[in-house]
Amino acid sequence: MQKSYEITITTQVTMMSDDRLDLADLMQCKEEQERSSEQAMAELAQQAQNLGMGYE
């Protein structure tokens, strides 16, 4: 029996007064999202190993 998991990642972007994105803010947001995603994948891989799901 397979279990399914749902992961939700939320991102907050600060808008400048003229409704344009600041590139530095956008890149920081992207980097934070990538770190969060990598951490979530590592945690899922560890759980799969602990449960003996064949991920070595």
- Eight-class DSSP state of 24: H
Task: Supply φ then ψ for residue 52, to 5 degrees.
Answer: 65, 40
Please answer whether residues 13 and 26 qualify as being in contact, where contact means their C-beta atoms are separated by less than 8 angstroms.
yes
**Residue 5: which residues within 8 A CB-CB, separation 6 or more?**
44
| pLDDT classification of 20: cutoffs 50, 70, 90 | confident
Query: Which residue would you say has higher pLDDT here, 47 or 54?
Result: 47
pLDDT given at position 56: 58
Of 49, 14, 51, nearest to 29 (Cα)? 14
pTM of the entire structure? 0.57
Extract the tokens encoding 30.
């992207």
